[in-house]
Amino acid sequence: MSSSPYPHLLAPLDLGFLTLPNRVLMGSMHTNLEETGDWDRVARFYAERARGGAGLIVTGGMAPNAEGAVFPGAAGLFGPEDIANHRKVTRAVHEEGGRIAMQILHAGRYAYNPECVAPSPIKSPISPFVPKELDEAGIEKQIADFATAAARAREAGYDGVEIMGSEGYLINEFLVTHTNRRTDRWGGSYENRMRFPLEVVRRVRQAAGEDFIVIFRLSMIDLVPEGSTFDEVVQLAQALEKEGVNIINTGIGWHEARIPTIATSVPRAAFTWVTAKLRGKVGVPLVTSNRINTPEVAEKVLAEGHADMVSMARPFLADPAFVAKAAAGRAREIAPCIACNQACLDHTFSGRITSCLVNPRAGNETLLEIRPAAAPKRIAIVGAGPAGLSAAITAAERGHSVTLFEAADVIGGQLQMARRIPGKEEFDGLIDWFATMLTAAGVDLRLGTEATPEALAGFDEVIVATGVVPRRPGIEGEELPHVLSYVDVLARGAEVGERVAIIGAGGIGFDVAEFLTHAGESPSCNLELWLKEWGVVDPEIARGGLDPAGPHPLPSPRKVVMMQRSPGKVGRRLGKTTGWIHRLTLRMKGVKMLAGVNYERIDENGVHVSFGEARENPMLIEADNVVLCTGQISERSLAERLEAAGMTVHVIGGADVAAELDAKRAIDQGVRLAATL
């Protein structure tokens, strides 16, 4: 075996007619890039990942036909013009020595389209449209369209296709009685429900030929009621093997499942045990996935025999060179995916370009170039939060001489608070990565150092990234000793009583509520605890892997009430793909959420509130402590002093705009500014 620290991860995989260089599959992600029509941009996105060493890339889902598209107008591979566009991608990937398969995704009843189709006319809880029930001719058309898409993919130069058979899309809908109530040869017994996927694979193989990779993404644990049993999963996998698939990839949970599967609070490699159950039952290589984000985790999963290959998707947004860095012994320099979804899936599902909080270049490879500086400068940066850190690293990588001043004795700024929240442990890795990169880039870091105008005088450029301070809401009684700020709770370790009223229900209010309702070990670091908390069991024990007794949340050590002034749903502005998880977690912990609140006053008994414009229903929210999570204001005093002294400064991050600031905007602004200096 090689002397590499990742012998399993970096071992080649022989598929018979071709050999993949390593065990890393870059999983499918919809990027919205194809829909821009700029195929050079699409090609560059994938080519950078091929250059970075991904063993096999799978594209975002391409619709086989209009009714199967995730939304009207979503990219597909419909005619000669599309084939020419896709050729740009395959050529660019091959020029980098990579391999790429096109995913064929038929969205079934998840298609955002009144013309969507499914085995039975049952609306999904996450879509407004009742799908049209497919008749015999309709089913034949769908199968034929899959086969045509595969033939076109081959013509466009792809090395293979992945048939999307999981996450609750069309193929998955045929497999389970949750969505398939048919009584003809496509429904009823499992043999009948399996017929559609098997026909699709058979016809795809016929259309595409033998020396072409066919991957089937199989839903191994549906996490929905009436999902598959594990016996059915095994039966399907064996039948797929007979039809000639080359690789079986793992799908975990349907989109409508109310169990988190990829969010940051999901433990790393939380579902690889499901793939492991299938090992030995089929001869084809198995790919496992979900929350694998470092070479160490990937290596362990493979070494323990859970799978033959690992799929990582978002980690390739955070760092296209993931594999190359691991192979070169530079794993610590891999920008970590913290599974926040903030710049990837939250963007994808709101029609924006998929990017990455940690790496704003993702999806913008042709637009945001980091080139060596024409003339190296002396640059001072004040504040080592996400904005200052990313500006410092980017500027230093470009060849500038960078000094970074930080008043605290640690780097990270607001990230230091995020990392203390149970379920946000990934922030530790992000802070570590920033520290590694500061050193690698040669930034002169001055911790515990207040930057004065005198100290900044000799620099060519000064960047002020001094962040934010908590906003005082101006409520009568807020100066009482039992009233704390979120900084007291999260950064200074203040004692907090058993009854807590949280004022403000933005991201920080939710974070504080999660912090205060947990005791002991974080379930995100203990898989057994986490599975129990969410009610996930072995699919051999219960259909779909759902515990019939439901979730078993750990009891909260405190009674928490969270409030906001605005009416409507509490936590409305949380991330599109993660807000529901935060709301559900807190509900399971018994947190009470109140909207439309007027804060009349705070006294030693708690918070006196009323509701609505008419100040109705006055009541006392009894509390031992009140925690203010009422947003932030910019810390601009240094910037103002420098400007008053006639200096030109760049102000970025929270010091620039505090409203709704998050690490995504801070890092993006830091990188973009540093790219221009």
**At closest approach, how far in Å is the CB of 475 from ligand NAP?**
7
Q: Is 489 in the site for ligand SF4 (CB under 6 A)?
A: no
Most distant CA pair in the chain, distance: 82
Under 8 Å between Cβ of 111 and 72: no
Residue 313 interacts with which of ligand NAP, ligand SF4, none, CB < 5 to 8 Å by class = none
Residue 485 token pair: 């700020």
Q: Is 141 in the site for ligand NAP (CB under 6 A)?
A: no
Residue 317 interacts with which of ligand NAP, ligand SF4, none, CB < 5 to 8 Å by class = ligand SF4
Residue 341 interacts with which of ligand NAP, ligand SF4, none, CB < 5 to 8 Å by class = ligand SF4
Under 8 Å between Cβ of 55 and 24: yes
Q: Which of 335, 316, 314, 262 is nearest to 54 (CA)?
A: 316
**At closest approach, how far in Å is the CB of 342 from ligand NAP?**
6
**Interface residues for ligand SF4 in 612-641 (CB under 6 A)?**
none
Distance CA 43, CA 88 (A): 6
For the CA atoms of 479, 480, 482, 488, the dihedral, rounded to the nearest 10 degrees, stands at: 20
Side-chain half-sphere exposure of 645, counting CA atoms within 13 A? 13
**At closest approach, how far in Å is the CB of 568 from ligand NAP?**
9
- Would you call 426 helix, strand, or coil by DSSP? helix
**Residue range at the interface with ligand NAP (CB under 6 A); choices 58-66, 238-246, 315-323, 505-513:** 505-513
Which one of residues 357, 438, 505, 652 is an interface residue with ligand SF4 (CB under 6 A)? 357
Residue 629 interacts with which of ligand NAP, ligand SF4, none, CB < 5 to 8 Å by class = ligand NAP
User: H or E element: which one contains 310?
Assistant: strand 309-312
Q: Is 545 in the site for ligand NAP (CB under 6 A)?
A: no
Distance CA 531, CA 542 (A): 14
Cross-strand partners of 378? 401
Which one of residues 285, 388, 467, 504 is an interface residue with ligand NAP (CB under 6 A)? 504
Residue nearest ligand NAP, CB atom distance: 506
Residue 630 interacts with which of ligand SF4, ligand NAP, none, CB < 5 to 8 Å by class = ligand NAP
Side-chain half-sphere exposure of 478, counting CA atoms within 13 A? 15
Residue 339 interacts with which of ligand SF4, ligand NAP, none, CB < 5 to 8 Å by class = ligand SF4
Helices (H), strands (E): how many in the chain?
Answer: 21, 27
- Would you call 372 helix, strand, or coil by DSSP? coil
**At closest approach, how far in Å is the CB of 526 from ligand NAP?**
21
CA 83 and chain centroid, separation: 30
C-alpha distances in Å from residue 352, one per residue of 47, 227, 264, 355:
21, 32, 21, 9
Under 8 Å between Cβ of 666 and 390: yes
C-alpha distances in Å from residue 473, one per residue of 212, 503, 567, 624, 670:
63, 9, 18, 19, 29
Alpha helices (runs of H) in 503-572, residue ranges in sequence order:
507-516, 527-534
**At closest approach, how far in Å is the CB of 281 from ligand SF4?**
32
Which one of residues 35, 96, 603, 662 is an interface residue with ligand NAP (CB under 6 A)? 662
Q: Is 337 in the site for ligand SF4 (CB under 6 A)?
A: yes
Residue 369 token pair: 């170039």
Q: Is 96 in the site for ligand NAP (CB under 6 A)?
A: no
Q: Is 28 in the site for ligand SF4 (CB under 6 A)?
A: no
Residue 344 interacts with which of ligand NAP, ligand SF4, none, CB < 5 to 8 Å by class = ligand SF4
Which one of residues 85, 166, 564, 585 is an interface residue with ligand NAP (CB under 6 A)? 564
Q: What's the DSSP call for residue 312? A: E
Residue 600, number of CB atoms within 10 A of its CB: 17
Closer to ligand NAP by CB, 200 or 661: give it.
661
Q: How many residues bind ligand NAP, per CB under 6 A?
A: 22
Please tell me which residue in 46, 110, 158, 169 is annotated as part of the active site. 169
Q: What's the DSSP call for residue 222? A: -
Which one of residues 356, 380, 443, 591 is an interface residue with ligand SF4 (CB under 6 A)? 356
Distance CA 178, CA 192 (A): 15
Residue span 291-330 as binding mask against ligand SF4, x where in contact by CB under 6 A, dash where not: -----------------------x--xx------------
Under 8 Å between Cβ of 26 and 69: no
Under 8 Å between Cβ of 309 and 24: yes
Which one of residues 62, 339, 484, 593 is an interface residue with ligand SF4 (CB under 6 A)? 339
Which one of residues 219, 249, 342, 390 is an interface residue with ligand SF4 (CB under 6 A)? 342
Residue 499 token pair: 């009854």
Which one of residues 507, 539, 579, 606 is an interface residue with ligand NAP (CB under 6 A)? 507
Closer to ligand NAP by CB, 566 or 637: give it.
566
Under 8 Å between Cβ of 125 and 254: no
Residue 569 token pair: 């749903």
Residue 392 interacts with which of ligand NAP, ligand SF4, none, CB < 5 to 8 Å by class = none
**Residue range at the interface with ligand NAP (CB under 6 A); choices 312-320, 435-443, 499-507, 611-619:** 499-507
Distance CA 111, CA 69 (A): 6
Residue 413 interacts with which of ligand NAP, ligand SF4, none, CB < 5 to 8 Å by class = none
Q: Is 338 in the site for ligand SF4 (CB under 6 A)?
A: yes
Active site residue 169: yes
Cross-strand partners of 24? 310
Residue 607 interacts with which of ligand NAP, ligand SF4, none, CB < 5 to 8 Å by class = none
Q: What's the DSSP call for residue 229? A: -
Closer to ligand SF4 by CB, 30 or 314: give it.
314
C-alpha distances in Å from residue 236, one per residue of 171, 175, 226, 275, 582:
12, 9, 16, 14, 35
**At closest approach, how far in Å is the CB of 256 from ligand NAP?**
23
Which one of residues 62, 220, 223, 343 is an interface residue with ligand SF4 (CB under 6 A)? 343
Q: Is 288 in the site for ligand NAP (CB under 6 A)?
A: no
Which one of residues 22, 31, 120, 341 is an interface residue with ligand SF4 (CB under 6 A)? 341
Q: Is 632 in the site for ligand NAP (CB under 6 A)?
A: yes
Residue 421 token pair: 């929240």
C-alpha distances in Å from residue 14, one per residue of 21, 342, 497:
9, 37, 60
**At closest approach, how far in Å is the CB of 468 from ligand NAP?**
8
Residue 506 interacts with which of ligand NAP, ligand SF4, none, CB < 5 to 8 Å by class = ligand NAP
Distance CA 316, CA 319 (A): 5
Distance CA 34, CA 144 (A): 24
Residue 161 interacts with which of ligand SF4, ligand NAP, none, CB < 5 to 8 Å by class = none
Q: Is 384 in the site for ligand SF4 (CB under 6 A)?
A: no
Q: Is 473 in the site for ligand NAP (CB under 6 A)?
A: yes
Q: Which of 176, 160, 255 is nearest to 216 (CA)?
A: 160
**Residue range at the interface with ligand NAP (CB under 6 A); choices 128-136, 276-284, 362-370, 498-506:** 498-506
Q: Which residues bind ligand SF4 (CB under 6 A)?
A: 314, 317-318, 337-344, 356-358
User: Which residues are known catalytic residues?
Assistant: 169
Q: Which residues bind ligand NAP (CB under 6 A)?
A: 342, 471, 473, 503-509, 511, 564-566, 575, 629-632, 660-662
